[in-house]
Structure 1
Amino acid sequence: MADAPRHNLPVEPNRFVGRERDIADLCALFDETRAVTLCGVGGIGKTRLAMRVADRLLGGFADGAWLVELASITRPELVAQEIAEVFGLESERGQDLLDAVVARLAGARCLILLDNCEHLIEATAHVTAQLLAGCPGVRVLATSREALRIPGELMWHVPPLDLPGDDPARAESVRLFLNRARAAGTRLGEESLPDVARLCHALDGLPLALELAAARTRMLSPGQIADRIDDRFALLTTGDRTAPARQRTLAAAVEWSHDLLSQAERTLLRRLSVLAGGFDLDLVERVCAEPPLSESRIVTLLGALVDKSLVVCDAGRGRFRLLDTIRQFAAERLADSDEERMVRDLHLRVLCKLQERAFETEFLTPGLTWQERLAAHTGSRDRLDDQRAALEWALRSGNLTVGLRLCMRSSGLLSLGGAAAEVVGWIERLLGQDLSRVPPEQVALAKGYMAYGLLTRDDLDSGLNAAREGLAGMAGDPFVLATAHTVAAGALLRMGRGDEAAGHIEAALAVARQQGDRFNETGALIEGSVHALQRGRQREGQRGAEEAHAAATAHAHPWILAMATSHLGLAAETRGDLETAAEQYGAAISWLRKLGNRGDLAQNLARSSRVRAQLGDVLAAREQLAEALSVARECGLRQALNRCMVSLSALARAEGDLEGAVLASAAVAALRESMGQRTGSVKVDELLSAARAQLGEGRTTALWSRGRSRPAFEVATLVLEGRRTEPAAVGPVQVEPPPAALLTIREREIAGLLTRGLSNKAIAGELVISPATVARHIANIMEKLGYTSRAQIAVWAAEHGVPSA
């Protein structure tokens, strides 16, 4: 055979892109392995990869590499005949054709490529086993949706092409798309990369889908294609006319795999389409095991779909997923069936039960470890896509009661997981429907739960109103009741209304302690400590912080531990113990990284940066602030950005950049006003006094106006890069002077009179007001300035030139 032609591999129709590592690894396998099967869903590029591997191996086989195409073969007995025809063999009378092939190849050293075996899998497996047994020098490379399952075979799952990350232009999927678009006559520049990357993600990195999409660039831009990709099976219909019919459209490629399934496998596949994210076997059994499928058959059927490359298995985690392309195909089949409502209703109920059980573990069950709490929260996060799909169905089907129950037991939808209180949107949509069949107390509970989301979204007024509406009609859920009181307290404290907050703090503590609810007890204790610190009562604030940390430790939820630890840091920072503050903030950051909470992570990084700056560790402060700003931008949370700008002002001042400190503080003032939050502090007052003394009134006013008028992220860039030059003015500029002081006119009058050592009664006599009014004003002054005594106020008034008469 050495003088015969050495291969029948076709010339590649276009450039082969990517998979360099796969090719190298596959070629190396044939040093020790005699049979390798490339498995994968239709359109993933098995044939092209196999052709490239065969071509690369050609020089190592004295008798060549031979392609046997089986896609057009319909009868099992024709498999051996097709192989025989490739080698120019005909059977003699009375001789089995397969025996003839084995006899011919017994002494040969060659590679046989069996392409598209899945529809003749048993016959192909039998023939391959015979070849390997009788022909020691023969190696077999097969492509199929599933493995041949013969001794000595190695199954290789062909992955999708690499998806774009930080450098989209280097991703295999992007390179393929750009190459095929160029072949179609479309040259795309760098400006198109974001849309191309979005499209590659939407198409799962499937080569066939990308090639079909690239062909569409003759008419549509990548962005327009990506916007229409939800209807991918209708859009991606223009393929290579010379390709097999099953490869000319995306629908045909998937249909080819679907047609090879048994009826039970088809039923399971279409039911799996309701599982929007990754899933485990337990979830499949709960949602899909309805007649005609029994629970006992699910594991076998699911395994069969994995074997046929229609379900992707992450064996290390025991989880499965569908590629989006397969999910959409299966969902269309489910919609065409008569069981969609049954399956989606069951999915909604199952998700609600799973989340209620996880919520019990995460928050309510006493005596668990933080690892157990975290595992429950992680499970909730892992089911987040499924929860969203179930809630969409609750809205479509009008099952509002179960939808609201799911919202109220999903920590994954709250900012505990780092999102910007996604639960608010879902509850608002559910409450916007016809609620005539929803019990009023459930509506009140939903509003109380929504209040927390509104607060974390920095919508203080709405959060306070929702908490109050919920409290007015709430019954039957002490956890939500305590949460609503704590939320109301938190909103009021941020608004500077501490007296009103105190009542809610006491109510939250009473409910939580009565129920043994250490989670909400911790939250209420933290708010109580904040209230004390705002009024200058540092010992009380420290004691409250310690009690909150003890309660959090007893509960052991990672998030509440992080919040209590962070608050210990704040209490330490307030009393000037910066080393302890840095240590506590660092511990909180560690908890939040474990939890994956981005919003609270940004705030604690910013706080830690502020302390590091005050300790003189400017490099660490800058690194932490840079990460905090990046995360704050990503999360879109104004409170996180506010913390960053406060820290930026402290960092600038530590570096001797008084102008930068004023710019950042002005941005903080604007941010807080936009949130309805109390503005100003004694530190800002001191900063502006120093700026006026060093820079002058005019320059200070210009910097303050500029900081207030620019977006906060722009101000951050100006300060960090040290740029101060004003751009050319475009029209009149609104100049807004910085605040002269934090106090009202009446409060300044009283502060001035305290410099004379007057009693409340004497001050009341001079100002013609009651002593009780004087006492209330003095309490407000202490809260604003962070002081604890009349003497401190008197010193401050004297230093700031407040008149005493």
Structure 2
Amino acid sequence: MADALLHNLPAEPNRFVGRERDIDDLCAMFHETRAVTLCGVGGIGKTRLALRVAAKLVPENADGVWLVELARLNRPELVLQEVADVFRLETEPGHSPLDTLVARLSNATCLIVLDNCEHLIEAAAHTTAALLAMCPEVRVLATSREAMRIPGELIWHVPPLDLPGDDPAEAESVQLFLNRARAAGTQLGEGSLPDVARLCRALDGLPLALELAAARTRMLSPGQIADRIDDRFALLTSGDRTAPARQRTLAAAVEWSHDLLSTAEKTLLRRLSVLAGGFDLDLVERVCAEPPLSDAMVVPLLGALVDKSLVVCDEQRGRFRLLDTIRQFAADRLAESDEERLVRDLHLRVLVRLQELAFEAEFVTPRLSWQERLAALTGSRERLGDQREALEWVLRSGNFALGLRLCVRSSGLLSMGGGAGEIVSWMERLLDQDLSRVPRELVAVAKGYLSYGLLARDELEVGLTAALEGLAEMDGDPFMLAATHAIAAGALMRMGRAEEASAHIEQAMTVAHAHDDQLNEVSALVALSVHALRRGRHREAQRLVAEAHAAAMSHGHPWSAALATTHLGVVAERRGDLEAASEHYDAAISWLRRLDNRGELSECLARSGRIMALRGEGAAAKERLVEALAVARQCGIRQALSRCLASLSTMAEAEGDLDGAVLASSAASSLRESMGHKVGSHAADELLARARAKLGEGRTTALWSKGRARPPLEVAALVLDGRRPEPAPVRVLQVEAPSALLTVREMEIAGLLTRGLSNKAIGEELVISPATVARHIANIMEKLGYTSRAQIAVWAAEHGVPSA
């Protein structure tokens, strides 16, 4: 054996990318064990990794490293013969191939690589076990979809390549894609990285899929490929002609694994495709255990699919998932079967029941512990992918009643206080269908739930309309009845219609109290406290919010605790107790972080930053407001951004930057107006009075107009950096007086624009129609060369045009 070739490994066809740590770990394992099986789904890169490890182990094996390729074999008895052929052994008469192999390898120090064992797994296992038992220095590295399950075997599940994170260029999947794209003749610059990262995530970091996609860059950009990836099995074809047929297309790679399954395993796999995202065993049993499968069959069948690398198992959390590529393949098989409607209808009904139970536990049932409520919330969020899948089926199948029931009990789709865009979209799509067969009470509850999402998106008018429409026909769901009254009250309060809001607050309080509904009772008490505070009744406000806080602590949900605690801070701040306010805001922030409630977290961070500024803690205030702005930008909620700008204005003035204070306050005011928000102008009026006294009317008006003219986040950045916006360019600078450009009426209108008035308001002041105002504004734009009202306002302020 000493004179034989050291290995028969093929040369690498292209650069090996990633998995450096895996290679080192696998090499080290052969110091502790003699059999390692690389398991993973087709296309995960088992063979390439095995060959890399084997090449690195050549120096440690005096008698060589030998590759035995089993993919082309179709009969179990050929496995031993193939191993013997690799060693160029002739079987002697009266001896079996195993006897011949053992005689030759009994004293040899070598590594045998058995590649692609899955279709001959029993024969591969018996061969390996025999060689290990009778040849003490022989070691085996195998690749297979499933383990051999022999004594002493170490199973290594080959993971997908690392997916892109904060720095996409560092991810293994991105590096592989870029390398193979260059090999295909495509040079991709940094500008393509976002699309490449999106594509790598969509393909699960699966090496074969990435290589096939990279080959397509000769025709399509990464973005175009990513946009078409839902049809990945048709798109990702035309692989290496010299590769085995099963590796030339993505469909062939998955089909190879699928064909090795039993009939029952195939049935379970295609049913699992309706479970989007991760799932637990309970959900599998509820959805998939229908004839011809039984409850008793589910666990062993699921275990078999895990063993065959078609289902990924997170053992620590007891959860499972399908790679997107496997899931799409299985979904195609389900669509081709005669059981798709059965499975998807059952999936929908199971989800509705699970969500109704979770909603009751999270919000409605009194005096549960936070751990119990957290379990319900976590379950709802973990089923988020399933809820989306089920709702898509609702729109296809027409079962709108179940779809609405699912939506109105999904705290996963609508995280309280933020992320409302998705639930609004689902609700609007469902409510736009023919609901003539859906109970009117259910439609009313759906409108109430929709109203919460609309208000969370700062759409006050339409949110109020939806709430009132829901209340008109709602009487069978006391929780949503109280909640919808509270929602309507919230909209009316923000719109400056406090007296109308009071009636809804009282109704919410009455219904909540009658049904021991502590969560809605907290909302109603906080609303009453806000109402009292705005009327200057500080003691009453304090008493009401203390009641709200006690009820929130009894209820145990962090959202109600954060709501009440935040308002404790508001009342303390209004009473001048900044230390208490700071403590309350910090406590609320802690609750909101646990909930990942970004909208209300941003507002609370902004309030906390304002208190820090008022206490002279400038650096801490700035740090907190920077975080608040970042969170507001992530969730896209205008109310949160408005709160950040208002607090930023306070910080700027506290640091002596009156210009910045006016800019930030102006941007906040503009945001409030865009939402139809009619309260909160008192502090801005006082600031403007101080600014006019110190800076003068003209400068103050110009700053106010500039703040309104620029995007809010740009204004925030300017104020934080201490920079000021450059004045808008004016085409005609040589004019000595504004009157040389504009008529008297146009001058009046330009001056009124500095106050941010609408066409209707200007028309009422000048006793002309809004249409006439619009024509004058168009003439002003043409004369000054401008394209916006804000530019006119800045020009008028800088030229001292009177605003009244």
- By the TM > 0.5 criterion, same fold? yes
1:121-170: CA deviation from partner (whole Å, max 9, x where unpaired): 01100000001111111111110001110011111111100011110001
1:682-741: CA deviation from partner (whole Å, max 9, x where unpaired): 32122112211222222111111111111111111111111114165277997743589x
Which residue number in structure 1 is paired with residue 576 of structure 2? 576
Moved more, 422-431 or 491-500: 422-431
**Which structure 1 segments of 5+ residues have no match?**
745-805
Asked if the contact 2:417/2:456 (under 8 Å) is kept, the reply is no
Are 2:229 and 1:226 equivalent residues in the alignment?
A: no
**How many angstroms does 1:680 deviate by?**
4.4
Structure 2 distance, partners of 1:730, 1:210, is 54
> Matches of residues 727-742 of structure 1 in structure 2 within 5 Å?
729=729, 736-738=753-755
Asked if the contact 2:418/2:456 (under 8 Å) is kept, the reply is no
Which residue number in structure 1 is paired with residue 696 of structure 2? 696
Which residue number in structure 2 is paired with residue 801 of structure 1? none
1:652-683: CA deviation from partner (whole Å, max 9, x where unpaired): 11222111111110011110011000154332
Asked if the contact 1:492/1:500 (under 8 Å) is kept, the reply is yes
Which residue number in structure 1 is paired with residue 372 of structure 2? 372
1:491-545: CA deviation from partner (whole Å, max 9, x where unpaired): 1111111111111111100000000000100011111111111122111111111
**How many angstroms does 1:572 deviate by?**
1.1
Asked if the contact 1:411/1:417 (under 8 Å) is kept, the reply is no
1:112 alignment partner, SS class: strand
**How many angstroms does 1:421 deviate by?**
4.7
**How many angstroms does 1:428 deviate by?**
1.2
Structure 1 distance, partners of 2:99, 2:404, is 68
| Alignment CA distance shift 1:468-1:140 (3 Å) | same
Are 2:286 and 1:286 equivalent residues in the alignment?
A: yes
1:733-767: CA deviation from partner (whole Å, max 9, x where unpaired): 97743589xxx9xxxxxxxxxxxxxxxxxxxxxxx
Asked if the contact 1:312/1:323 (under 8 Å) is kept, the reply is yes
Asked if the contact 1:68/1:112 (under 8 Å) is kept, the reply is yes
1:537-558: CA deviation from partner (whole Å, max 9, x where unpaired): 1111111111111111111111
Which residue number in structure 2 is paired with residue 752 of structure 1? none
Structure 2 distance, partners of 1:138, 1:613, is 72
Moved more, 434-443 or 349-358: 434-443
Which residue number in structure 2 is paired with residue 84 of structure 1? 84
Which residue number in structure 2 is paired with residue 45 of structure 1? 45
Structure 1 distance, partners of 2:238, 2:613, is 60
1:270-320: CA deviation from partner (whole Å, max 9, x where unpaired): 000001110000000000010000011001000000000000000000000
Are 2:495 and 1:495 equivalent residues in the alignment?
A: yes
**How many angstroms does 1:185 deviate by?**
0.5
Are 2:372 and 1:355 equivalent residues in the alignment?
A: no
Are 2:600 and 1:605 equivalent residues in the alignment?
A: no
Moved more, 722-731 or 456-465: 722-731
Structure 1 distance, partners of 2:418, 2:756, is 35
**Which structure 2 segments of 5+ residues have no match?**
733-748, 762-804
Which residue number in structure 2 is paired with residue 753 of structure 1? none
Asked if the contact 2:494/2:679 (under 8 Å) is kept, the reply is no
Which residue number in structure 1 is paired with residue 106 of structure 2? 106
Which residue number in structure 1 is paired with residue 134 of structure 2? 134
Which residue number in structure 2 is paired with residue 209 of structure 1? 209
Structure 2 distance, partners of 1:175, 1:127, is 38
TM-score by length of 1: 0.90
Structure 1 distance, partners of 2:30, 2:572, is 65
Name the % identity: 74
Structure 2 distance, partners of 1:63, 1:611, is 75
Which residue number in structure 2 is paired with residue 624 of structure 1? 624
Are 2:86 and 1:73 equivalent residues in the alignment?
A: no
Q: Which amino acid aligns with 1:360?
A: E
2:566 alignment partner, SS class: helix
Asked if the contact 2:111/2:139 (under 8 Å) is kept, the reply is yes
Which residue number in structure 2 is paired with residue 792 of structure 1? none
TM-score by length of 2: 0.91
Asked if the contact 1:464/1:492 (under 8 Å) is kept, the reply is yes
Structure 2 distance, partners of 1:450, 1:680, is 26
Which residue number in structure 2 is paired with residue 786 of structure 1? none
> Matches of residues 583-602 of structure 1 in structure 2 within 5 Å?
583-602=583-602
| Alignment CA distance shift 1:153-1:162 (3 Å) | same
Asked if the contact 1:417/1:595 (under 8 Å) is kept, the reply is no
Which residue number in structure 1 is paired with residue 323 of structure 2? 323
Which residue number in structure 1 is paired with residue 181 of structure 2? 181
Q: Which amino acid aligns with 1:287?
A: V
Asked if the contact 2:395/2:430 (under 8 Å) is kept, the reply is yes
> Matches of residues 300-449 of structure 1 in structure 2 within 5 Å?
300-416=300-416, 418-449=418-449
Structure 2 distance, partners of 1:417, 1:369, is 22
**How many angstroms does 1:405 deviate by?**
0.7
Which residue number in structure 2 is paired with residue 655 of structure 1? 655
Asked if the contact 1:184/1:214 (under 8 Å) is kept, the reply is yes
1:277 alignment partner, SS class: coil
1:4 alignment partner, SS class: coil
Which residue number in structure 1 is paired with residue 791 of structure 2? none
**How many angstroms does 1:579 deviate by?**
1.2
> Matches of residues 450-599 of structure 1 in structure 2 within 5 Å?
450-599=450-599
**How many angstroms does 1:183 deviate by?**
0.5
Asked if the contact 1:68/1:113 (under 8 Å) is kept, the reply is yes
Structure 1 distance, partners of 2:472, 2:151, is 71
Q: Which amino acid aligns with 1:183?
A: A
| Alignment CA distance shift 1:56-1:602 (3 Å) | same
Structure 2 distance, partners of 1:178, 1:45, is 17
Q: Which amino acid aligns with 2:506?
A: E
| Alignment CA distance shift 1:731-1:452 (3 Å) | farther
1:176 alignment partner, SS class: helix
Structure 2 distance, partners of 1:130, 1:192, is 52
RMSD: 1.5
1:216-263: CA deviation from partner (whole Å, max 9, x where unpaired): 000100000001111000000020111110000000000000000000
Asked if the contact 1:374/1:595 (under 8 Å) is kept, the reply is no
Structure 1 distance, partners of 2:541, 2:143, is 69
Which residue number in structure 2 is paired with residue 259 of structure 1? 259
Asked if the contact 2:652/2:719 (under 8 Å) is kept, the reply is yes
Q: Which amino acid aligns with 1:413?
A: L
Q: Which amino acid aligns with 1:650?
A: T
Q: Which amino acid aligns with 1:595?
A: L
Which residue number in structure 1 is paired with residue 27 of structure 2? 27
**How many angstroms does 1:24 deviate by?**
1.2
Structure 1 distance, partners of 2:656, 2:351, is 55
Asked if the contact 2:111/2:138 (under 8 Å) is kept, the reply is yes
Structure 2 distance, partners of 1:616, 1:108, is 79
2:275 alignment partner, SS class: coil
Q: Which amino acid aligns with 1:425?
A: S
Q: Which amino acid aligns with 1:136?
A: P
Q: Which amino acid aligns with 1:697?
A: E
Asked if the contact 1:424/1:450 (under 8 Å) is kept, the reply is yes
Q: Which amino acid aligns with 1:221?
A: S
Which residue number in structure 2 is paired with residue 146 of structure 1? 146
Alignment size in residue pairs: 741
Structure 2 distance, partners of 1:288, 1:600, is 40
Q: Which amino acid aligns with 1:372?
A: E
2:412 alignment partner, SS class: helix
Asked if the contact 1:445/1:475 (under 8 Å) is kept, the reply is no
Asked if the contact 1:669/1:679 (under 8 Å) is kept, the reply is no
Structure 1 distance, partners of 2:205, 2:323, is 10
Structure 2 distance, partners of 1:115, 1:280, is 32
Asked if the contact 2:110/2:137 (under 8 Å) is kept, the reply is yes
Which residue number in structure 2 is paired with residue 705 of structure 1? 705
Asked if the contact 2:706/2:725 (under 8 Å) is kept, the reply is no
1:412 alignment partner, SS class: coil
Q: Which amino acid aligns with 1:669?
A: S
1:413 alignment partner, SS class: coil
